[in-house]
């Protein structure tokens, strides 16, 4: 599943090819993604200019100035298996290439075998884009200045859930997916089954430090180990992070040599060192 770093890398990858460009037309071959693509979107985006790109959680946002004067935001979510890439206009679509945004010289193509992704529209006349129903419940960004130890301590006081599960919920911070949750808890020396409300102030400070640092380093490496990740240049390939615990069951801990433990929490695999994480 593309996690926040892959989405940010996708944004950085497509930005030079879409910002300031005019969409000649949008082609929808399969409207039935997680939510059905509104047919009106095709009309809206005809000759719309993309002003800039942004990201909120795992949503990509393309700010559009439409030919009919409407200003809106095209929201794209990659779901479980979605990817965007830039291809030449004469490249025929392949299976699962559901949507194209065609520019004068190239095409932005959305590919999604499992179709859990989304292509949505927010008309800016309806208010701030971050107030869109799919975005307004999201936790704050890990790179937000407000994301500090005091914030984490405060928001976790009422959360009895295990910290690993609570991190994955995205309710108080976005972007910590399954891989990064295991990794960050190892870096902080926190047991994944510890109730969030039992975190000490010192542990909260460690989380506030390691979460953005880990995600930033993943973005810098160009993404994670995602099998479905397709580079926005059209090259398949993924970037191997050196994980400390993730997917390392029974292998020795990099710090203390204790075999890494694998457990399942809320149907998701968790990896940790029982010695280093108390
Ligand atoms: Zn260890």
- 2 in catalytic set: yes
Whole-angstrom distance, CA of residue 217 vs CA of residue 201: 25
Question: Looking at residues 70-81, what average pLDDT do you find?
Answer: 94
pLDDT at 229 over 70: no
Tokens of residue 259, six digits: 């075999």
- 58 in catalytic set: yes
pLDDT at 110 over 80: yes
Q: What is the pLDDT of residue 225?
A: 38
Q: How far is the CA of 272 from the centre of ligand 1 (A)?
A: 8
pLDDT at 203 over 80: yes
Q: What is the pLDDT of residue 219?
A: 86
Residues in the chain: 278
- Beta strand 59-65 with 49-56 is antiparallel
Question: Looking at residues 149-157, what average pLDDT do you find?
Answer: 98
Whole-angstrom distance, CA of residue 147 vs CA of residue 209: 9
Whole-angstrom distance, CA of residue 233 vs CA of residue 17: 10
Whole-angstrom distance, CA of residue 180 vs CA of residue 182: 5
pLDDT at 232 over 60: no
pTM of the model: 0.89
Catalytic pick among 21, 56, 58, 194:
58
Q: How far is the CA of 278 from the centre of ligand 1 (A)?
A: 10
- 19 in catalytic set: no
End-to-end CA distance of the chain: 29
Lowest-confidence range among 118-122, 200-204, 220-224?
Answer: 220-224
Lowest-confidence range among 57-66, 190-199, 215-224, 246-255?
Answer: 215-224
- Ramachandran assignment for 51, one of left (phi > 0), alpha (psi -120 to 50 degrees), beta (any other): alpha
- 56 in catalytic set: no
- pLDDT band at 240; cut points 50, 70, 90: low
**pLDDT top residue among 226 and 66:** 66
Lowest-confidence range among 13-17, 66-70, 73-77, 171-175?
Answer: 13-17
Burial (Cβ within 10 Å: 0-12, 13-18, ≥19) of residue 40: exposed
Catalytic pick among 2, 5, 192, 212:
2
pLDDT at 53 over 80: yes
pLDDT at 243 over 50: yes
8 A C-beta contact, residue 51 and residue 20 = yes
Q: How far is the CA of 147 from the centre of ligand 1 (A)?
A: 27
DSSP letters for 75-134: EEE-TTT-EEEEEETTSPP-TTEEEEEE-SSEEEEEE-TT---EEEEEEGGGS-GGGSTT
Q: What is the pLDDT of residue 122?
A: 96
């Amino acid at each position: 599943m593309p996690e926040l770093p892959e989405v940010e890398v996708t944004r950085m990858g497509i930005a030079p090819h879409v910002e300031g460009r005019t969409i000649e037309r949008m082609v929808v071959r399969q409207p039935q993604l997680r939510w059905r693509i509104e047919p009106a979107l095709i009309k809206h985006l005809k000759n719309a200019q993309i002003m800039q790109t942004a990201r909120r959680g795992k949503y990509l946002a393309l700010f559009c100035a439409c030919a009919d004067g409407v200003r809106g935001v095209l929201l794209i979510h990659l779901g479980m298996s979605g990817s965007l890439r830039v291809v030449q206009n004469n490249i025929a679509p392949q299976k699962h290439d559901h949507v194209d945004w065609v520019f004068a010289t190239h095409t932005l193509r959305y590919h999604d075998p499992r179709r859990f992704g989304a292509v949505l529209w927010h008309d800016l006349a309806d208010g701030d884009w971050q107030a869109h129903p799919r975005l307004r419940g999201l936790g704050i960004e890990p790179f937000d200045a407000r994301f500090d130890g005091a914030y984490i301590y405060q928001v976790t006081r009422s959360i009895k859930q295990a910290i690993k599960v609570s991190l994955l919920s995205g309710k108080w911070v976005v972007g910590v997916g399954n891989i990064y949750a295991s990794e960050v808890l190892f870096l902080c020396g926190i047991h994944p089954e510890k109730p969030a409300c039992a975190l000490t102030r010192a542990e909260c400070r460690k989380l506030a430090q390691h979460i953005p640092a880990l995600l930033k380093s993943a973005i810098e490496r160009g993404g994670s180990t995602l099998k479905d990740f397709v580079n926005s240049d059209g090259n398949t390939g993924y970037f191997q992070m050196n994980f400390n615990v993730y997917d390392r069951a029974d292998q020795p801990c990099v710090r203390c040599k204790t075999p890494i433990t694998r457990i399942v929490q809320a149907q998701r695999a968790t990896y940790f060192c029982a010695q280093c994480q108390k």
